[in-house]
């Protein structure tokens, strides 16, 4: 079947959708999900409520789309772990510190996640979506930890799954701190130095 070509109307709607999402991401990060209305979003983006509802059913629907995009960014970062060379103990620490630094550079990400966690307490749809993604990330990082321990000849003082949860919590927590990205990476390296130990020879 021949793929339908995008019309100028399709492109305009796609642009409208992107602008609405950009405004929503900014406002939710600044004011919280509960403190941001559809009216706030359309006013910031320069559209009417009609434009909003032609793209999204509800504010919750838009927020889920924002979280899906955030999840995709995070998944790409996690998948990139496989391309990092792991030669020794120091390289392991450098990689994890780099991940934390990159996460801290995504200013809205930790705020969106925090808002999603609050919303999940009220909405089972959000709760299910967050849990599924969290467990996916734990699995990816835990698998990487196992590979790291073997290649770099290091051992973890806790299980790979616990290590994965620790890395995620550390990354999320540091991203919400006022410290700069480089300082956050240094803190991560210092903490993980105590969790990854060279294997006894």
Residue 101 lies in a domain: yes
Do 111 and 187 sit in the same domain of this protein? yes
Do 142 and 175 sit in the same domain of this protein? yes
For residue range 77-112, list pLDDT tens digits in order.
667 666 666 666 777 777 777 766 666 556 677 778
Do 69 and 134 sit in the same domain of this protein? yes
Do 46 and 105 sit in the same domain of this protein? no
DSSP state of 177: S
Do 34 and 101 sit in the same domain of this protein? no
Do 161 and 107 sit in the same domain of this protein? yes
Cα–Cα distance, 144 to 14 (Å, whole number): 37
Q: pTM for the whole thing? A: 0.66
Higher pLDDT pick, 42 / 144: 42
Task: Specify burial of residue 103 (Cβ count, 10 A radius: 0-12, 13-18, 19+).
Answer: buried
The mean pLDDT of the chain is: 80
Count Cβ neighbours within 10 Å for each residue of 53-90 and write b for 16 or more, e otherwise: eebbeebeebbbbbbeebbeebeebbeebeeeebeebe
- pLDDT above 50: residue 1: no
- pLDDT above 70: residue 67: yes
Do 185 and 174 sit in the same domain of this protein? yes
- pLDDT above 80: residue 116: yes
The CATH number assigned to the domain holding 21 equals 1.10.10
Within the chain, residue ranges assigned H as helices are 8-31, 38-45, 49-53, 59-79, 89-105, 109-120, 124-151, 160-175, 181-193
Do 34 and 115 sit in the same domain of this protein? no
The CATH number assigned to the domain holding 82 equals 1.10.357.10
Do 23 and 88 sit in the same domain of this protein? no
Residue 73 lies in a domain: yes
Band (pLDDT 50/70/90 cuts) for residue 51 is very high
The total domain count for the chain is 2
Cα–Cα distance, 119 to 136 (Å, whole number): 20
Write down the pLDDT at residue 172: 74
- Host domain of residue 17: 7-56
Higher pLDDT pick, 181 / 16: 16
Do 44 and 126 sit in the same domain of this protein? no
Do 70 and 165 sit in the same domain of this protein? yes
């Amino acid at each position: 079947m021949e793929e339908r070509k995008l019309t100028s109307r399709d492109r305009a709607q796609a642009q409208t959708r992107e602008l609405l999402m950009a405004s929503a991401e900014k406002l939710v990060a600044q004011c919280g999900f509960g403190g941001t209305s559809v009216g706030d979003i359309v006013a910031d983006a320069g559209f009417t409520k009609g434009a909003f509802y032609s793209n999204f059913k509800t504010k919750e629907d838009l927020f889920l789309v924002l979280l899906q995009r955030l999840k995709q960014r995070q998944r790409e970062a996690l998948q990139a772990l496989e391309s990092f060379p792991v030669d020794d103990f120091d390289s392991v620490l450098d990689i994890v510190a780099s991940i934390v630094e990159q996460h801290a550079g995504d200013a809205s990400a930790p705020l969106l996640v925090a808002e999603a966690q609050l919303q999940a307490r009220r909405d089972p749809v959000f709760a299910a979506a967050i849990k599924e993604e969290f467990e996916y990330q734990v699995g990816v990082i835990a698998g990487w930890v196992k590979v790291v321990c073997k290649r770099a000849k290091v051992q973890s003082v806790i299980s790979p799954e616990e290590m994965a949860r620790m890395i995620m919590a550390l990354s999320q927590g540091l991203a919400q701190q006022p410290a700069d990205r480089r300082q956050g990476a240094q803190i991560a390296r210092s903490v993980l130095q105590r969790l990854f130990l060279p294997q006894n020879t």
